[in-house]
Amino acid sequence: MSDLLAHLPQITAAYLIYLVAVISPGPANIAIIGTAINQGRKPAIVIALGIFAGSFTWAMAAALGLSAILTRYGEVLQVLKVLGGLYLLYLGVKACRGALRQTSTTELRQNGKDTRLSKLFLTGYGIHLTNPKSIFGWLATISVGLPPGASAGSVALVVAGCLFTGLIVFLGHALLFSTARAGKLYQSARRPLDALMALVFGTAGVKMISSAF
């Protein structure tokens, strides 16, 4: 208990860093919001859980020091950036095709019912797992919150607290943007939103690939 109290300022700082990172606009949040207003609540929750699973994976990696290994061996990180960038470009192309298609919200929601939940989960997992920003976000969180010699209890408190925060944010986006009001708004703004998603995914993909070289 005394160890936890001694590290409380660092732990609090870690929570704040992670909160800012998790609520900032990016591929993960855009994917959840787009799925929520495009396909409805259940698919949005599933893709949010997939993104959370990706966050959990990097949290464990950061806690075990694997992210530092990736930083040291640059060629591994380069491959990860290229693969992640290509995946984001693929999502950008899909969003672009949606922006060019004239389809009503009712039809979109009906089509969304045919999407396999397992595929949505893996899509969310892939978005977060192939994003190097997630690695460094967790590395920064762990570095700030856990000074050298921190106890296992401190590690667990930082990781569990941040993961819980991420879960609330991801599910919050899924629930908030899957309401009937959001659906009506989407009916009049579907194509601009899909175009925005294409721009976000495309830009992120290009930046990720270019940063690998």
Amino acid at position 111, single letter: N
- pLDDT, residue 51, reads 95
Q: Does the structure show a pLDDT above 70 at 67?
A: no
| Confidence band of 93 (pLDDT split at 50, 70, 90) | confident
At 149, give phi and psi (nearest 5°). Answer: 85, 5
Residues 31-51 have pLDDT tens digits of: 898 889 888 899 999 999 999
- Say what the pTM is: 0.69
Structural domain containing residue 12: 2-210
How far out from the chain centre does Cα 48 lie?
8
d(CA 201, CA 205): 6
Question: What does the DSSP assignment read for the chain?
Answer: -HHHHHTHHHHHHHHHHHHHHHHS-SHHHHHHHHHHHHH-HHHHHHHHHHHHHHHHHHHHHHHTTHHHHHHHSHHHHHHHHHHHHHHHHHHHHHHHHHHHS---HHHHHHHHHTS-HHHHHHHHHHHHHT-HHHHHHHHHHHHHH--TT--HHHHHHHHHHHHHHHHHHHHHHHHHTTSHHHHHHHHHHHHHHHHHHHHHHHHHHHHHHHTT-
Q: Does the structure show a pLDDT above 90 at 5?
A: no
Share the mean pLDDT of the chain: 77
Domain count, the chain: 1
Sign of CA dihedral 198, 91, 139, 142: positive
Question: What does the DSSP assignment read for 12-27?
Answer: HHHHHHHHHHHHS-SH
How many Cα atoms sit within 13 Å of 126 on the Cβ side? 15
- Number of C-beta neighbours around residue 110 at 10 A: 13
- Number of C-beta neighbours around residue 20 at 10 A: 10
Q: Does the structure show a pLDDT above 50 at 151?
A: yes
